[in-house]
Amino acid sequence: MQIEQIKEMAVSLLYPRRCPVCDRITTGGALIHEGCRKNIKIVRGSTCLKCGKPIKNEEAQYCSDCEKTRHYFDRGYSLFKYRSVSGSIYRFKYSGRQEYAAFYAEEMRRHLGDVIKRLGPDALIPVPMYRRKERIRGYNQAAVLAETMGKELGIPVDMQIIERCKNTVPMKILDEKGRKANLKKAFNIAQNEVKYNCIILIDDIYTTGATLDAVAKVFRDKGVKRIYFVTLAIGQVV
């Protein structure tokens, strides 16, 4: 037995893996209970050509939000419908369930792997967290997701290139104007030159896209030509 396998076994005995849907322990190293799979809804069918949100009107190319908003990213894709995984993502973020990333990344490869590879990204870049906040929480869930996805897809992950230099307040408590002000000068690229042509930003949830836009803008200003994003979940069009 390889030392890595022994380590993995020891970890699984100490910290049994939990199901990302019901949070109960799984057996034999399974990433999810087979019966729980049906509760998770993958984004399918007509989606906005810009933000990837499911749209009801099949004739439309863009969602109502993207019709009127100019985004700095080129296009984005999301894996799950938010409502079906909201509890899962909440625990992934706030209850230390970093192990869920293995399931999320495997589903990413299955459903979005071809799309992601076709884009030909130089790197996956997680949306950074304010350093002090990350220390308190213990990890940045977007970074955990990006790292696991990078391994699953064989794409480099760059966690150093961008930092969050302002402790922004949670976006959900702000209106549109507040969100913009909140994100002003919130991100900083830690190097003079960015060598990437194509990057994919990684985050957990897409709501209005304001955060991803703010990150995309700083990379755009540094001359990155193609900027995409992939998130774990996205809300429905209201």
Residues near Zn ion, by CB under 5 A: 19, 21-22, 33, 36, 48, 50-51, 53, 63, 66
In angstroms, give the least distance from the CB of 166 to Zn ion.
Answer: 26
**Token pair listed for 104:** 């999320």
| Chain centroid, CA 22 distance in Å | 21
C-beta closer to Zn ion: residue 21 or 183: 21
C-beta closer to Zn ion: residue 19 or 157: 19
In angstroms, give the least distance from the CB of 20 to Zn ion.
Answer: 8
In angstroms, give the least distance from the CB of 78 to Zn ion.
Answer: 11
DSSP 36: G
C-beta closer to Zn ion: residue 101 or 155: 101
Q: Measuring CA to CA, how many Å separate 169 from each of 77, 181, 217?
A: 25, 11, 20
C-beta closer to Zn ion: residue 53 or 164: 53
In angstroms, give the least distance from the CB of 11 to Zn ion.
Answer: 20
In angstroms, give the least distance from the CB of 39 to Zn ion.
Answer: 8
Q: Are 40 and 80 in contact (CB under 8 A)?
A: yes
Alpha helix (H) ranges present in the chain? Answer: 3-14, 64-68, 82-94, 100-119, 131-137, 141-153, 176-183, 210-221
Angle at the Cα of 182 from the Cα atoms of 178 and 188, rounded to 5 degrees: 155
C-beta closer to Zn ion: residue 31 or 66: 66
Q: Are 79 and 233 in contact (CB under 8 A)?
A: yes
Q: Are 214 and 155 in contact (CB under 8 A)?
A: no
Query: How many CA atoms within 13 Å lie on the side-chain side of 25?
Result: 7
In angstroms, give the least distance from the CB of 68 to Zn ion.
Answer: 10
C-beta closer to Zn ion: residue 48 or 227: 48
Which residues touch 95 (CB under 8 Å, ≥6 apart)? none
In angstroms, give the least distance from the CB of 188 to Zn ion.
Answer: 27
C-beta closer to Zn ion: residue 45 or 154: 45
Count of CB atoms situated within 10 Å of the CB of 110: 12
